[in-house]
Amino acid sequence: MCSSCILRAPILRRPTKGVKEYGVDLASELSEAPLGQISFRFYDPDHHLVEVGETMSAANVRLFKKGMSIPEIAAKTHLPEEIVKADIDKILPGTPLVIR
């Protein structure tokens, strides 16, 4: 069994609320890390800590939709501007990527 696994799932609007409804013991509420990624943590039935978070691609797009510029996102996430642009173009094709 791996100690770190990545699972891809649809974006949930209020993930911690859904987890609480099943009686899961939360270790942390939904929060944004300094790099901009949103995540939360809970304990599985064997009391292993599980972290659920958005991909950095999703974080880049979310920050862009919130009005941050590509250079601002790159500075916050410590990713090259080319990666940020590629993530936004992949998820929001045809969006004008104006550098502000």
What pLDDT was estimated at residue 1?
Answer: 46
Q: How confident is the model at residue 97 (pLDDT cuts 50, 70, 90)?
A: low
CA dist 82 to 23, 71, 85, 87, Å? 42, 10, 5, 9
Structural tokens at position 47: 């009391």
- Would you tell me how many other CB atoms lie within 10 Å of the CB of residue 40? 17
Higher-pLDDT residue of 43 and 98 is: 43
Residue ranges in 5-55 assigned as alpha helix (H):
15-21
Task: Please state the pTM of the whole predicted model.
Answer: 0.75
Contact (CB, 8 A) for 77 and 89: no
**What are the residues facing 25 on neighbouring strands?**
43
Q: pLDDT over 90 for what percent of the chain? A: 42
The Cα–Cα gap between 58 and 91 comes to 8
Sheet holding 49-53, edge to edge: 25-32, 38-43, 49-53
What pLDDT was estimated at residue 52?
Answer: 87
The Cα–Cα gap between 85 and 32 comes to 21
